[in-house]
Amino acid sequence: MRDSNDTDAQRSEGRGGIPRVTLVGAGPGDPDLITRKGLRALATADVVLYDALSSKELLDETPAHCQHIFVGKRAGCHYKKQEQINALIVECAVEYGHVVRLKGGDPFVFGRGQEEKAYAEAHGISVTVVPGISSCISLPELQGVAPTSRGYADSFWVLTAHTRDGGLSEDLFRAAKSSATVIILMGLGRLDQICALWDAEGKGTLPAMVIQNGSRPDERCWVGTVNDIAPRVAAERDRGPGIIVLGKTVRQHKKFTRKASISANDTW
């Protein structure tokens, strides 16, 4: 595998060509969940800038001359700042030709793909977008839980737990009042705070699920209720990525058992 954290050491091997960028959604983690169009983009790449959530197996789909540059970001650990990534995309496109920006999930679902697209286009470089399968729908589905389902939920919300300044998103407070399935990305570190919001709305017995390292060999899944899941996850999880699912649809999970009685008087 051809991997580099510094493009300067690799410049002499690039082919060059017309600068262009393809933003490719790599899917939730399983390398088989990328699209055919995404694979075709990788097959013609001169440089791939990949993040921590995209499978490194996908780098094997690139040509022999292609350079692989890690620009990963995870909670509490940013290898490169977003501004540096934007500049690197343009630099590599000008120097090498076709740059594939490989991003976990979908590039535009909390992936900042729009910022990268706008920056490259502002520098006169054409950008193609290849959507990816987002973890927000695929990971619950792989657990047998439908985000929407008749008799359970008519809609679903997709939220991030964090605002730009590091606080809790105001949308979380609104979502806690909703009867929709709520799917929260990048929120495991604040699971206890999130569950407290739902509990304050009288939803302590609402089914809850946490999926970590979803669709990967080391996937883990916890199923319970709002008032019992946070301490279990905190004691057992690692630093890998995860999502939170709150809603009646979690009852569909084969391992779900109601530890608190759910009566007809429950308002959620």
Q: Residue 37 — φ and ψ, nearest 5°?
A: -65, -35
Is 255 marked active-site?
A: no
Q: 70: burial class by Cβ within 10 Å (0-12, 13-18, 19+)?
A: middle
Q: DSSP string of 207-255? A: EEEEEESTTSTT-EEEEEETTTHHHHHHHH--SS-EEEEESGGGGGSTT
51 given a catalytic annotation: yes
SS3 152: coil
Active site (annotated) includes residue 209:
no
Q: Of the listed 73, 171, 228, 266, which one is catalytic? A: 73
Q: CA-CA distance, 160 to 187, in Å (whole number)?
A: 7
Q: Which of 51, 103, 117, 209 is an active site residue?
A: 51
**139: nearest Cα among 83, 212, 206:** 212
Q: Number of C-alpha atoms within 13 angstroms, CB side, residue 35?
A: 17
Residue among 186, 199, 228, 266 flagged as catalytic: 186
Active site residue ranges: 51, 73, 186
